[in-house]
Amino acid sequence: MITTPGLHAYLVLAALVFAVGLFGVLTRRNAIGILLGIELMLNAVNINLVAFARFQADLAGLVFTLFVISITVAEVGVGLAIVIAIFRVRRTVDADHLNLLKG
Amino acid sequence: MTLATVVFWAVALALLASSVGVVLTPNLFHAVLYLAAALVATAIVFLLLDAAFLFAVQLLLYAGGVVTVLVFAIMLTERLIGERLSQTNRHVVNGAVVAAAVFIGVAGFIVGSPGMPAPAGADRTADIARALVGPFAATFEVLGVLLVAALLGAIYFARAED
């Protein structure tokens, strides 16, 4: 039974993508892999915001999505710079080995 | 069943498949390519939701910019060829349980909530522009400060020691 996608369809799709991204964040070894999972989760949030903006006819969701996208770009820039800095010092970006701050 | 419905289900399937590819592919470079596919699929979802401007922004910033930067970072920190150890840590089962629990919790709320009828769609690009220089002008300025700070921070972290 396939019907015209309503708000629920978009929200469930976003929830699924969010859960997949969360799984990636929790299980990836590589620090860049963890960043990829975070990208997926932020993407799912964007789908939610745009879906609500469309179905509520509210502009704020669209503007917030723009802000989220810009902040994500900044986050990726700084995150990858940190990953590269860590790689220079430790020669690895395996998150299991990055335990310098562990007591 | 209209064309938009068919496109939605096709895009939803593509988005889910490429998302699973992002988290499960052993090769990180392939994972970034799957991420690019997922981002393009998200852009098409935006198009289905009458957000043509966000579709363009998504393609330019994410699929264009972020993926390129990620590819460069992987090339700097990783040998693209050659066998890798297992890419997933020992928390696979725990991670799957937590992710599934989060999804079930969120989906429970969604299914239990009342749906909304869709109002008539319209292109909101001009309204976004007016909102950015109107009610959201201060936020927009702060965002500029954030981007400059992030730029300086990235340069500081990644600069060569000498």
Length of chain B: 162
CATH for B26: 1.20.120.1200
**Does B81 have pLDDT greater than 60?**
no
Residue A78 CA to residue B152 CA, distance in Å, equals 9
In terms of Cβ atoms closer than 10 Å to its own Cβ (0-12, 13-18, 19+), residue A23 is buried
> What's the pTM?
0.88
CATH for A64: 1.10.287.3510
Residue A84 CA to residue A69 CA, distance in Å, equals 22
| B153 backbone dihedrals φ, ψ, rounded to 5° | -65, -40
DSSP string, A32-51: HHHHHHHHHHHHHHHHHHHH
> Is A20's CB within 8 Å of B49's CB?
no
Cα radius of gyration rounded to whole Å, chain A: 17
Average pLDDT, chain B: 84
What is the pLDDT at residue A1?
41
Q: Which residues of B touch A62 (CB under 8 A)?
A: 51, 53-54, 124, 128
Question: Is the separation of the CB atoms in B55 and B44 below 8 Å?
Answer: yes
Please compute, for residue A14, the number of CA atoms within 13 A of its CA located in the half-sphere on the CB side.
21
Residue B40 CA to residue B129 CA, distance in Å, equals 23
**Does A2 have pLDDT greater than 70?**
no
Candidates A76, A94, A99: best to mutate against B (most CBs of B within 10 A) is: A76
List the 43-72 stretch of A: residues with Cβ below 8 A of B.
43, 46-47, 50-51, 53-57, 59-60, 62-63, 65-67, 69-72
Of B2, B48, B92, which has the smallest distance from its Cβ to A27's Cβ? B92
For residues A46 and A102, which has the higher predicted lDDT (pLDDT)?
A46
Q: How far, CA to CA in Å, does A73 sit from each of B28, B62, B138? A: 20, 8, 20
Residue A60 CA to residue B36 CA, distance in Å, equals 26
Confidence of residue A32 (pLDDT cuts 50, 70, 90): confident
State the total domains in chain B: 2
In terms of Cβ atoms closer than 10 Å to its own Cβ (0-12, 13-18, 19+), residue A41 is middle
State the total domains in chain A: 1
- Give the tens place of pLDDT for each residue, B113-155: 877 777 777 778 888 888 888 888 999 999 999 999 999 988 8
Residue A13 CA to residue B8 CA, distance in Å, equals 10
Token duo for residue B23: 């988290």
Mark which of B33, B61, B82 sits at the end of a domain: B82
Closest CA–CA distance from residue A42 to any residue of chain B (Å): 11
Domain-located, residue A98: no
Closest CA–CA distance from residue A102 to any residue of chain B (Å): 18
Question: Is the separation of the CB atoms in B23 and A24 below 8 Å?
Answer: yes
Confidence of residue B86 (pLDDT cuts 50, 70, 90): low
CA-nearest residue to A95 within chain B is B89
Domain-located, residue B93: no
Q: Which residues of B touch A53 (CB under 8 A)?
A: 49, 51, 124
Q: Which domain holds residue B128?
A: 122-162
CA-nearest residue to A58 within chain B is B124
Domain-located, residue A39: yes
For residue B139, give the amino acid letter: T
Residue A81 CA to residue A83 CA, distance in Å, equals 5
Domain-located, residue A22: yes
Same domain, B19 and B75: yes
